[in-house]
Amino acid sequence: MELVDPIDDSDRLQDDAMLWARGFYKIMEDTNIPRSALFDYDNCNPLPADASAENPLPSLYLVKKCFEEVSDVTFTRHHSCPRGCMMYCDDETTTCAYCPAARLAAPENPASYVDNLSIREYMAGKLHQATTRNQLLYRHQRSNDSGNADDILDGDVYKLLVNDGLFSSQYDIAIGLSIDGFTPLDKSSFQATMVNMTVYNLRPMISTLSPTTIMIISGTNKPRDLESFLQPVFTESMQLTSGWLDVVLDNRQEIHAKVHFLTFTGDIPAVADLIHHSGHMSKWGCRVYLVRGAHSGGMYFHGMASKFPIRQVASFQHTLRHSNDDKNAELYCDFMIIE
């Protein structure tokens, strides 16, 4: 079986055994070969010349450590509330704004933290290498005369941005973010919210199947101030939109690229959190139309939603109140007038 190097960085990973092991573990992952099958790896053929009984194949742990050492991608660490309420966006705040938890467990030791992947460094690495750079050029090179919308790049929003001159370089990149909450441990109060990035420059089969996790928010509560966690992501996105991605390619050519943010999505509860909607089980549970629900053993919405007025941004602002407020309470903003 020929090993396919997904990233052409063999010149940076000088150790042959390490390079071979990386391909070996990648094939195991792609083909769902369990770790328990590893005991028989000595029978694999071909082995690199220096991987033998005396000098065995490096472990997955060592391969990951080696990659970290040669990688240009870094994570920025931010202090956060151990219960998951908020992230600290300054150096001065000492206590969570939503619970009594202190910022530090000991001097210079945060009670909890969140690591945030740099989108700029991640994209610079992809553009630097010829193999991954060519994959990113799919956005610029594709054409679709079928009349069908096969890709987000066939959508009106992307076309509008192109017409506005936002994708003037073949190297400019379209991305989308998504969030999803999950409980990683059964019967535990521990919760996590994952922030993923999808690169729309890649073919849909690649981009949709391999989103990149740029942050995992953890705690015993779901985030009370989601924007605080997302602030570094938004700040970096704004910088990348205006051009902050200068890359020297592996052929020594210098390019200037931009990264544009097309979507931010998630499932219904995640989108509700993003836009400060009170949720689909609340009295005003539709986030698109102003249709009032009726409670009868559950929340029901009668009639055809599209016959109701479309909601405006201001109509979501009631959820900015304290969380102990009754989510089904009457709204106190604009559309109260039309009731």
Residues 6 or more apart whose CB falls under 8 angstroms from that of 11 comprise none
Q: Any contact of residue 113 with Zn ion (CB under 5 A)?
A: no
Bridge-partner residues for 215, per DSSP? 116, 195
Q: Which is nearer to Zn ion, 98 or 244 (CB)?
A: 98
Q: Any contact of residue 101 with Zn ion (CB under 5 A)?
A: yes
Choice from 73, 99, 286, 299 touching Zn ion (CB under 5 A)? 99
Dihedral of CA 28/29/31/36: which sign?
positive
Burial environment of residue 113 by CB neighbours within 10 A (0 to 12, 13 to 18, 19 or more):
middle
Which range binds Zn ion by CB under 5 A, 83-91, 156-164, 196-204, 262-270? Answer: 83-91
Q: Which is nearer to Zn ion, 97 or 329 (CB)?
A: 97
Residues 6 or more apart whose CB falls under 8 angstroms from that of 42 comprise 53
Q: Which is nearer to Zn ion, 34 or 100 (CB)?
A: 100
Q: Smallest gap, in angstroms, from Cβ of residue 81 to Zn ion? A: 3
Q: Any contact of residue 85 with Zn ion (CB under 5 A)?
A: yes
Kindly provide the b/e burial profile for residues 273-286, where b requires at least 16 CB atoms within 10 angstroms of the residue's own CB.
bbebbbbbebbbbb
Contact 266, 179 (CB under 8 A): yes
Q: Which is nearer to Zn ion, 227 or 250 (CB)?
A: 227
Q: Any contact of residue 103 with Zn ion (CB under 5 A)?
A: no
Q: Which is nearer to Zn ion, 53 or 106 (CB)?
A: 106
Residue linked to tokens 């799919």: 138
Fill in the per-residue mask, 33 to 72: x = in contact with Zn ion (CB under 5 A), - = not in contact. ----------------------------------------
Which range binds Zn ion by CB under 5 A, 16-24, 46-54, 66-74, 88-96? Answer: 88-96
Q: Smallest gap, in angstroms, from Cβ of residue 324 to Zn ion? A: 14
Which range binds Zn ion by CB under 5 A, 52-60, 73-81, 144-152, 315-323? Answer: 73-81
Q: Smallest gap, in angstroms, from Cβ of residue 105 to Zn ion? A: 14
Choice from 26, 28, 62, 98 touching Zn ion (CB under 5 A)? 98
Q: Which is nearer to Zn ion, 111 or 274 (CB)?
A: 111
Q: Any contact of residue 177 with Zn ion (CB under 5 A)?
A: no
Compute CA distances 78 → 27, 73, 264, whole Å: 34, 16, 22
Q: Smallest gap, in angstroms, from Cβ of residue 213 to Zn ion? A: 23
User: In terms of DSSP bridges, do strands 259-266 and 173-182 run parallel, antiparallel, or are they unpaired?
Assistant: parallel
Compute CA distances 183 → 166, 187, 221, 222, whole Å: 39, 9, 11, 10
Which range binds Zn ion by CB under 5 A, 9-17, 94-102, 117-125, 206-214? Answer: 94-102
Q: Any contact of residue 81 with Zn ion (CB under 5 A)?
A: yes
Alpha-carbon gap, residue 90 to 79, rounded angstroms: 9
Long-range pairs, 125-130, Cβ under 8 A, ≥24: 125/71, 125/72, 125/73, 126/199, 127/171, 127/245, 127/247, 127/249, 127/255, 127/257, 128/247, 128/248, 128/249, 128/250, 129/7, 129/8, 129/9, 129/250, 130/8, 130/249, 130/250, 130/251
Fill in the per-residue mask, 269 to 308: x = in contact with Zn ion (CB under 5 A), - = not in contact. ----------------------------------------
Q: Which is nearer to Zn ion, 45 or 188 (CB)?
A: 188
**What are the residues binding Zn ion (CB under 5 A)?**
81, 83, 85, 96, 98-99, 101
